[in-house]
Amino acid sequence: MVSVLFKKNTAFSLVELSMVVTIIALLVVSVAASYKLIDRAKVKGVAAEINTIETAFIAFQETYNAIPGDMANAYDFFSGKDCGVNSESGGTQQDRCNGDGDLFVKDDSPSGEKCREEHNAWNHLSYADLMKAIRPSCAAYNPSAKYTNLTYSIRMINIDLNPYFLNQASVNVIRLGKVREDLISSNSYNNFNNNGKLLPPQFLQILDRKLDDGIAFSGKLLSVNGYDDSSNRDGNCSYDTVNATNTVDYQLSEKGPQCVAFYQLKQIIF
């Protein structure tokens, strides 16, 4: 009799089992919903950071009639703030502080005698008190505070293969991606080269809808396949082409880090 009562008391009824299953289902739904909330919060945070950079980029042009990083006479304004003082690069302090004034943020120092304009973009914005630069020097960069391992790089890219990017062959953009370990392991100054795949297609589509048109290969935000840390461009972010319907070209079935994105900055001087 004792053993029978013991078995009876330790068994689960159908009602109890159904309650357990219901609780587990609710927990799964709750966890999934929390992840979606986190993603939405990250999208909102990254969008705000992009808007902050663009606002500073425009304000710099309005104040100095120049592009940050490319400014040819930056030394005249910022020498008192140690612009170009980093002696690890060659050339004079003035060389390291100034850009070449061609209105595009790019590498203007193939011989290594200046800071790269991609680094000086953050330096100039910092010296103008428009943004704070991380490690203000010839290795200045801007990491996201809202998305782990995401960094922003201001640079010129050639996008003549994309007819929807305002039909311009060369534009200044914010590049969103990860700094590649294979590049900075040999040279820490390569932290400007953030074309490592990091952002999932679904995340970028939401960001794209918030800032632009929700299409990977059109408008102000362009999303493409990124590189891994072995220089292989093998991501599955978007189809890198304008599709027939021009509505959805993100590869939404991919859940992991696949993408690098480019956001076209507003330029008011030409």
In a domain, 188, yes or no: no
Question: Residue 135 is which amino acid?
Answer: R
The H-assigned helical ranges of 79-216 are 93-97, 117-127, 181-184, 201-211
What local confidence, expressed as pLDDT, does residue 33 receive? 44
In a domain, 100, yes or no: yes
pLDDT in tens, the chain (270 residues): 555 544 555 566 776 666 777 666 555 554 444 445 448 899 999 999 999 999 999 999 999 999 999 999 999 999 888 888 876 667 788 988 999 999 999 876 544 557 889 999 999 999 999 998 777 788 888 999 999 999 999 999 876 555 445 455 688 999 999 999 998 888 888 888 899 999 999 999 999 999 998 988 888 898 888 999 988 987 689 875 544 455 558 998 888 999 999 999 999 987
In a domain, 91, yes or no: yes
In a domain, 7, yes or no: no
Collapsing DSSP to helix, strand or coil, 101 comes out as coil
- Cα(22)–Cα(226) distance, rounded to whole angstroms? 41
Parent domain of 89: 65-140
In a domain, 221, yes or no: no
Question: Residue 114 is which amino acid?
Answer: K
In a domain, 109, yes or no: yes
In a domain, 155, yes or no: no
Q: How many domains does one find in the chain?
A: 1
